[in-house]
Amino acid sequence: MTKTTVLGILLRKRNITATAFQEILSKHGCNIKTRIGIHSASNNVCSPDGVILLDVIGEEADIQALESDLRKIDGADIQKMVFEVL
């Protein structure tokens, strides 16, 4: 059985939390297969909130460590999706 794990992060106050968030992603970079960032933007306005999707790989302990580090960020809401393929 193979497993695909996706972490969805709603990151509030991006202008304040982005540096800490990026440091965590760099720390766990070997466990991130794909990263997709979604936020509202126009010519004059950039949303203070954003959604990031991480397709993560590796041992369960490594994925849990990443998730734990992300949960320490004030303003981060994390949801986890696990798809098991038989």
Note the pLDDT tens digit of each residue in 39-60. 777 777 778 899 999 999 999 9
Give the model's pLDDT for residue 64. 97
Give the model's pLDDT for residue 70. 97
The domain total for the chain is 1
User: pTM (2 decimals)?
Assistant: 0.89
Give the model's pLDDT for residue 23. 97
Instruction: Provide the CATH number for the domain around residue 73.
Output: 3.30.70.1150
**How far apart are alpha carbons 33 and 66 in whole angstroms?**
13
Question: The sheet that has 50-56: what strands, in order across it?
Answer: 32-38, 50-56, 2-11, 76-85
Q: Domain residues for 35?
A: 2-85
Note the pLDDT tens digit of each residue in 68-78. 999 999 999 99
Q: What's the whole-number average pLDDT of the chain?
A: 92
